[in-house]
Amino acid sequence: MTIRTKIQASIRRRLSDERGFTMLLALFVLVVTTLILSGAYVAVLSDTHLSRNDLDQKRAYAAAQAGIQAYNYQLNQNENYWQTCTGIPSTTVPGSTDTGGGSESYLVTPLPATGVSACNSSNALATMIEGASAGSASGSFRVQSTGTSGNVKRTIVAQYKPPSFLNYVYYTDYETTDPSALPGSPSDCEVHYPNRGSDCGGAINFISGDSINGPLHSEDTLSICGSPTLGRTVADAVEAPAYTNETGGTCTNSPNIVGTYNAHATSLQPPSSNATLLSVTNSADHFTGATTLTLNGSTISVTNTAAGDNNTTIPWPSNGVIYVSTSSSGCGIIYTPFNPSYTGDGNCGNVYISGTYTQSLTVATDNDIIITGNLEPTALNSSGVPTSNALLGLIADEFVRIYHPVAGTRGNSRDACSSGGFGAPDVTNDTGTIYNPKIYAAILAVSHSFIVDNYDCGGESPALGTLFVYGAIAQLFRGPVGTGGSGGASNGYVKSYNYDDRLQSEEPPYFLNPVSAQWYVSRETECAATSSSC
């Protein structure tokens, strides 16, 4: 073999030698694996941060919800807790620990009413409760709960509203005649009606032809004699512990319950007075003694002897509330619907009211409100349905009355209209009688009734017509607005009570709510992450 041949053979051997190839392959696989693991590590590390943030987000929200529940507990223990303007200090959620060694906490802060800088416990109603300008939030208050987990914070604002008389077109505490509406002197029942007995007057029947066009609530047994219609649709609640024929006799007891009947509804009790409204009334809108108010769209004409006003035009109250008080010398008049006097009540906290309105208003008195003419919003469609959000509230400590004088004299007993018996004297001779009155208002008679003066008179030549109420009526006792007469004639008015569905979400300024009724969360809203307060 030549040298050349030997060299060529040596080269071929070296080129065909596979020693070290495995090492190269291993290094290649190791590099690729390292790159893959590094990418996976980076991806997992990034996902871990996102997962941690997501977990903190959820835990912070749950902590904020826990704060709302903690505030609910305080309200359930004391329904007036909101009046203290106290929230809940930063509190660790019991049992909350996470893998990072931290814990969740919440902080609950009451929010003042719109336009108010801070809640004041000495005047919580004005500084905590939303007024008429808040629209559907009127009558509510808000608290802000901030939950924290790690570096994450989430804030929820809860809006609280109480059960309301305005949820019903008709509310009564007692389904019996108001003691003051009975003939003669008021009975002991007027003073002791929480334990009323037979002296409180008989039950008032719902009869065939009666229609309650909306939801109904009574704390008492409904007396049914015939087939009245209760409710418009199944969406209307019909709430009463029972219904029966309490008056005896042979009449049937077969109501046409269109709404959904509930014998175990939550009890709603009226407040003892409307005095809380005085605390929110501006001094310029507080009058003493008998006052006449004529609503003129966006202004009000006032006649009040004590203030020297004689048909004086005043601007609409800035917070939508007018209050009339009895003078310090006292009223001195005990109301009876039988031939009541419309003079001599100058010291009484009485309001005589009529007219039209374009803005929301609540008129309150520590005595009576006497409606002397139609009360209507200016914006009505062809069907008589309001097309604006203007609402009127009438809240009397005693009676809300329909003005109905009669000519001549009559006795202080029912159906004693002069010597001619019921229906006389002829109502065409009456001064100021309101025929077919239209009242668009939410009415509350705190201690007595919604009633018609001389309700047993005026069924002839001509009849008084229909008492049309569009809104809501709440009263302690049922107040008569008419009576039956000979030959089936009717004295007083035929009833047409119709619910204003706007009252489900809106209400007149500072309208009173039932006592001993728990607040509930009507709405929850989460604040934007960039918002420092909401």
Which pLDDT score is estimated for 396? 98
Q: How many CB atoms lie within 10 A of CB 314?
A: 14
**What pLDDT is stored for residue 194 in this prediction?**
46
Which residues fall within 8 angstroms of residue 163, CB to CB, at 6 or more apart? 266, 268, 513, 514, 517, 518, 520
Which of the residue ranges 52-56, 61-65, 516-520, 529-533 would you say has the lowest mean pLDDT? 529-533
> Of 188, 189, 184, 182, which Cα lies nearest the Cα of 204?
182
First to last CA, the chain: 100
Instruction: Please report the pLDDT score of residue 513 as a whole number.
Output: 84
pLDDT computed for residue 189 by the predictor: 47
pLDDT value of position 188: 42
pTM: 0.71
Inform me whether the pLDDT recorded for 493 exceeds 80.
Answer: yes
Rounded-to-integer distance, Cα 470 and Cα 303, Å: 27
In sequence order, the 6+-apart residues with CB closer than 8 A to the CB of 56 are: 149, 150, 151, 152
Q: What is the DSSP pairing of strand 170-177 with strand 205-207?
A: unpaired
**Strand, coil or helix: 465:** coil
Helix-then-strand count for the chain, H and E: 4, 31
d(CA 499, CA 407): 34
**Which one has a higher pLDDT value, 489 or 305?**
305
Which residue type occupies 28?
F
The token duo for 31 is: 């590099």
Q: Where are the domains of the chain?
A: 54-162+522-526, 165-504
The predicted model gives 165-186 an average pLDDT of: 80
Query: How far is Cα 448 from Cα 53, in angstroms, rounded to an integer?
Result: 60
Average pLDDT over residues 51-56: 81
Q: Is the pLDDT of residue 185 over 90?
A: no
Please determine, for residue 523, whether its predicted confidence score (pLDDT) is greater than 80. yes
156's tokens: 């929820």
Instruction: Average the pLDDT over 321-350 and give the result.
Output: 91
Residues 186-210, mean pLDDT to the nearest whole number:
56
Which amino acid is present at 4?
R
d(CA 440, CA 393): 9
**CA atoms of 335 and 396, how far apart (whole Å):** 13
Bridge partner list, 264 = none
- List all residues 6 or more positions away from 41 whose beta carbon is below 8 Å from its beta carbon: none
Res 100 pLDDT > 60: no
pLDDT for 434 equals: 84
427-428-434 Cα angle (round to 5): 70
On whether the CB atoms of residues 478 and 448 are closer than 8 A, the answer is no
Confidence of residue 334 (pLDDT cuts 50, 70, 90): confident
The continuous run of DSSP H or E covering 498 comes out as strand 494-499
pLDDT number for residue 217: 95
90 contacts 66 by C-beta, under 8 angstroms: no
Distance CA 413, CA 181 (A): 10
The letter for the amino acid at 149 is S
477 dihedral zone (left: phi>0; alpha: psi -120 to 50; beta): beta
Q: Which residue has the higher pLDDT, 197 or 216?
A: 216
3-class SS letters over 8-33: HHHHHHHHHCCCCHHHHHHHHHHHHH
Q: Is 125 exposed, middle or buried (0-12, 13-18, 19+ CB in 10 A)?
A: middle
| Segment 389-413, tens digit of pLDDT | 999 999 999 999 999 887 666 666 6
Q: Which residues pair with 88 in a beta bridge?
A: 108
Q: What is the CA radius of gyration of the chain?
A: 36
The percentage of the chain sitting over the pLDDT mark of 70, rounded to a whole number, equals: 78
